[in-house]
Structure 1
Amino acid sequence: RNGRATIFPQAIGMAATFDTDLMQRVGDAISDEARAKYNASAAHGYRGQYQGLTFWTPNVNLFRDPRWGRGQETYGEDPFLTSRIGVAFVKGLQGNHPKYLKSAAMAKHYAVHSGPEGLRHEFDAKVSRKDLWETYLPAFEALVTEAKVEGVMGAYNRTNGDPCCAHPYLM
């Protein structure tokens, strides 16, 4: 899409290291390259698609069913590990400047999005409030409050009958 870049292992493999310092350094390296590529593109007058500084990552959904085709994009099935790894990665991507972002991270897919992928636009996830608070929401809460993630992408599905992007309880 926009030249060459360093390739890191899939998110689930990186999470298996349980190494938050490593994840922050990975995010930092990605945003360093993104800044360099952005500046090079801008110098040539290119401002097209895929040449910006917004990243649709991390995917902090939980991988609870191995039939879900996007499980490798997640940090696994554990809410605590997903929170810690996600916070570190976002901090690396966005940098630590008090005024400027290195890049803009976007936590996704809020909330209760873990397949089935083929039905994601019509699936209605039935989940208890206890499961919602103890399982599905901790990573999003941590990324917003601790990492100050720049954006949150809504899930495609419904949760308990309402679309996630307009769910009165999730808002």
Structure 2
Amino acid sequence: MLSRQSDAEAHSGGAWEWHQDYGYWYGQGFIYPHMMSVFIALDAATRENGCLRVLRGSHKLEHGRVGEQTGADPKRIGQIESLFELVHCEMKPGSALFFHSNLLHSSAANESDHHRRSFIVCYNATGNPQLQGEQIIKYDSCPVGTDQWLAQHP
């Protein structure tokens, strides 16, 4: 499990270009996109403050790089948008959205009077090998421990 916080304070911008999360984890050596992201709204997320947007069904596309973000080719995004349903993910604080690591998603700039803060957790399948230097790391079970381990170490 990996996590990060995404902040878009009021009047701060905080836009994210169209991207797929697996592109970040590919750079960390994960072999397959056998991952999912969970977007948790800490503040209300609305169209006004640039809520998360997804292209339903776009998880079957390849990822690329746009500047410092892993994203979709800006030359193709207009065409891609016409192929998939655009969904604005308006959310109440505490709401969570689970999605495939290859789903195209973005957010508009937050120029509103309201914060749009979130917490994003990414889960990797235990059987997804990871390259670390010259080694390939394979996990047969969760590297953090099992429920049995937790019971033995209160």
Q: Same fold (TM over 0.5)?
A: no
**TM-score, length-normalised on structure 2?**
0.27
Higher relative contact order (CA 8 A, sep 6+): 2
Greater helix fraction, Structure 1 or Structure 2? 1
**TM-score, length-normalised on structure 1?**
0.25
